[in-house]
Structure 1
Amino acid sequence: MKLTIKNKLLLGFSAIVVIIILLSMINLVKLNSVREIELSLTELRFPTVTAGMQLVDGVHLSLSGLRGYMILGKDIEKAKQFKIERLNGWEQIDESLNNMQQFSTNWTEPKNIEMLKTMKDYFEEFREAQQEIEDIIHKPENIPSIDLMLNEATPRAAKIITAITAIIDEEKLLAASKERKHLLTLLADSRGSFALGMANIRAYLLSGDVTFIPKFKAQWKINEARYNEIASLSKLFNKNQSQNWITYKTNRAKFSTLPNIMLELRRAKDWNLANYWLATKAAPKAKLILEILSDMRKSQDELAAIDKELFISESNSMKNIMLLGMVVAILLSIIISTFIARMISKPLNRVVIRAQEISEGDLTGVQLPIEGNDEITDLSRSINIMSSNLNELILEISESVDQVASAAEELSTTATETGYSVTEQQSQIEQVAIAMNQMTATISEITTNVASTAKAADDANSETISGRKEVEQAIMAIEQLSRQLEATAETIQQLEQNSENINAVLEVIRGVADQTNLLSLNAAIEAARAGEQGRGFAVVADEVRTLAGRTQQSTEEINQVIDKLQTDSKNTVIAMDNCQNEAISVVEQANKAGRSLVSISKAVEQIHGMSNQISSATEEQYKAAEDVNNNIISITDTSSETTLAVKQIMAASSDLSKLSSTLFELVSRFKVRT
């Protein structure tokens, strides 16, 4: 293959383009890796952590709504409000669980998938426990002891009080006696002790204060004693009193077993079923759920830390590859540009110097070396041929000038001699005519060679222009790379914007944590108002407030991670900008190569101009030879005139001498090899 200037330039810049393409492909692979890690962080790790935090908030929100309903649910408006709050908590839980289930398809830790499955079962049990508590909290059966008192003890106690009151009222109408007065006192004590006993039972059942138990037992003991005494005096009752006494005894016998049952129910751990279920069903499930979420959070944080380190490592690797690629591309561009410039400029300078020597008339120089297989080699070969042809031509012209000078001298010598015959003169004139014809043919050949040189210079100029176009195409390719680098910077800026969107989500989470903290504080205040009954709620409210504080702390930690991610993204954008600046520098180097080709084109145009000058000079020589030839023809025409032969010959000899001098002056301008 002919390695022309165009091919040399194409090979050089193709090598640069191939290197740039390889670097771009490597960076694209790295960029895809960084993008995958980024997606893992922004669309898997962080959303999973966020979903876990939302689950925690949903658990607290549902518990908060349930506790509020338990405390204030007797108020219809507040009951509706707390039910809605609990439902909102479960909607948040269901949505977060659904999101986490979707995220789990891309999880890489089997333990987390197993924990999610276990947690979903816990959530179902947690939901059922809350629903059971909500269904029973404001029903009488929530507190079995109170339910027993209201449904059995109180109705029987009312019948007992009614019966004994009727006996007392009847006794007031009967004639007084010592025994009846004593009986009336016993009846009054029995009614009073029974009423006080009921009051103490009711107080204990409502407050749980055990000091009311001995008070009840003391009153019941009094009532037992009075009952026995009244029974011993029952013979004093009239018919109505006897009937009421039977009612009293029957109901008292049925009632007598109820106080111990109520006391036992009240002393039991599950005396308040809603609170007991909250403590034994709902709260433990919530604790297990929160523990699983905490373990999953730790696992996701560890995985996120690993992904973050990998993200930083890949980003640094991509940056180092880009920097190394830029340095290699710049060095290779300089080396290739310098090598190609030397390949073109060194032989071209020799051609220019040789052309300048020829234009100055020096044909003695050493012929140009024929090296390579490009346009400059062809031009050197043409210059050498042109130089040789010019040298031979000048030598022939010089010899012809000598011959013309000798002929003129002979004509001048024999001008006075009339002994020369016309035939001899004609013979000499014919010899001169032949010589002039040869000289004319030689000059014509020189003109043809000069035209060939001009055409070769035009071809060299065309190839130089083509090379300049190839350089411009390489510049366009480098600029395209610069735009691709700019697009990559925009992608990383989009990552930074996505990180800012995550900050907005964290603000929402922080707001939810603040609201949870406020709700827990309100719950603590309500618990304080409830006194001893609200002590358990105060502890739970304090735990909720602590969990809300941990949520705020976790949100701050995530915010710090996002800030670090944004900082790394900004550093990457700065590195991409530096790469773009280096690409611009490569474009400037290519522009310099283009300007060098423009200089080469101008030098070739100068050679073309010099060739035109040589062509003009040979045309003048050709015209001069034609003049000499015409003069010889005139001599031939006048040679028949013998009477004017001497004058004409002398005149012709004088003219020939002048022409010989002129031609000698022209030939003397050239330095030729002999």
Structure 2
Amino acid sequence: MSSVEAKSTAQVDSKQVADNNKSSTDRAHDDRPSFFKSLLKLRFKDMSIMHRVTMIQCITLFLFAIATGIVIYLNHSQKGINDPQQVALVQKIDSLSFKATDNLFSLTQISYSLAHNKDARNNIEQLRTALQQLENDINSIEQAITSLNASRLKNHLANDLLPELKNSSSNYIQQMYKMPESLKLGQQQVARLYEETSQKFLHPMLIVLLDVQTASSKTAFRQNAIANTTLANAQTYLVIGFLIVIVVSVLSLISIRKSLRNYTYELLDALRLIASGKLNGKITVRTKDEIGTIATLVNSFVTSSNNTLSLIKKDIDKLHLMVESNSQAISVTNDAISNQRNKAQDVASSTALMEKSVEKVADFAKATLDEVKIAEEASDTCRCTMQDNITTTHSLSDRLRATSNAILRVNQMGDQIDSIVKTIATIADQTNLLALNANIEAARSGEYGRGFAIVADEIRDLAIKTAQSTKEVNKTIKELSAAVQNCVEVMASCEDQMENSLQQSSRANSSIEEIMGIIATISDMSEQIVQSCQQQANSASEINLSIANILKLTEDSYETMTNMHGSMSALDALAYEQSALLEKFELSSKT
């Protein structure tokens, strides 16, 4: 198989593998169904993990929105029933009717006392006050009933009970006002009026008031029951919604946990096998979420790796065959060239006998001249390198001196800072003494110097803190000075060593220049010898030139073929190494 055909075959196989890899990757992206399609089919494991988390949040928000809407609706529906103003009116009617009943019992006791002539004057005043209070209570009840909104309670109270209550109360009050006048007619007349009034008006009015109390109480109880029922329903709806949210969340979390734990462990086990070189298996894709997509892409990678490695293995086998074929051809050619070289050497040896001495001298002179030129070039290179080394060493020495000077300036600045710190410490001590003296003078001044004493104490505290800070700064400066001194010593040692290096480099440069002078002299002498030998060997060289050219071409061809044979051996060894590396992978039998 030719190299052109092998190259074209390899390109076609590589393009086919690349197309298969691309198609498998596209299928891995296209296999996952859309979110709404998975939701309609209730295949939650086909959803992505982000879609599941988003679905849980949306369901939670939706259920809470429904529960909130139900609670708002129930509260809105209770506004008309449990209107606070209407509830207050019902309670007011209940309390007023109860109060009116109490007044009736009080009037009964007062009228009984009048009927039996017990403290008539006092009882008359109490009777009038109680009648006035009863009349006010009846009017208040009427106003409260009138203020009620249209309802069954209002219809019952206003149409059935209120007219009878007003009629009975009006007649009862009129008869009670007549009792003081009946005292003039005698005690029996008063007792008879009391009996008639009680039988005709008091008992019906008490019954009506009791009916009003009963109706208002029942309404209040019914309103409370409705409110309690509404509250219980709202709580029930909220609990149901909360339970549904918990169930949905638990189910979704179980699904996510299964995807993230079980499927991930399976994926990790498969990836460990792939990492160990086993490419003959595939991961079972159980879901179509992110884990399933990764598993599909890993399968695509395994398939593409199988295809690629199989193609490489085939190419290596082809390479073995090509190397073996080329090695055989090179061996045949090399043998032919070797025979030609031997014959050319025989002819050259027979024609070179008469010029043997000249050729030996010429060859020796040429070899000497070549070696001298090589030595001259090497010595020039060494001289340039040594000169660059000296220049670099000088530059480094100058930088070390500049660094040493900078460190010395830092040391001097540290001494200046130490002097300034000592001055600050002295000022702090003097300030402390002045503050102490000021405190003493303030103490002598008594009440007038108390404020100044406080200021003096603050100044003294500040002076003490300043003294402490200066001590710490002084300690830090001393440590810095020690470090700078150490740096100065190290820099001085580096400068000495750099000076020694400069001296050694200068001596080496001088020696190299002397060697270059000697080599130049030898080069001139070698050139003169070569010129003389060439002049003497021109005639022999013309005769032997054609044979020498043939021999040279033969030698070159033989060397080239030898190199090619070595390259083929190296290429064959490389192919065997690649084949051994491929043996570490367990490829699928299908590929």
TM-score, reference length from structure 1: 0.38
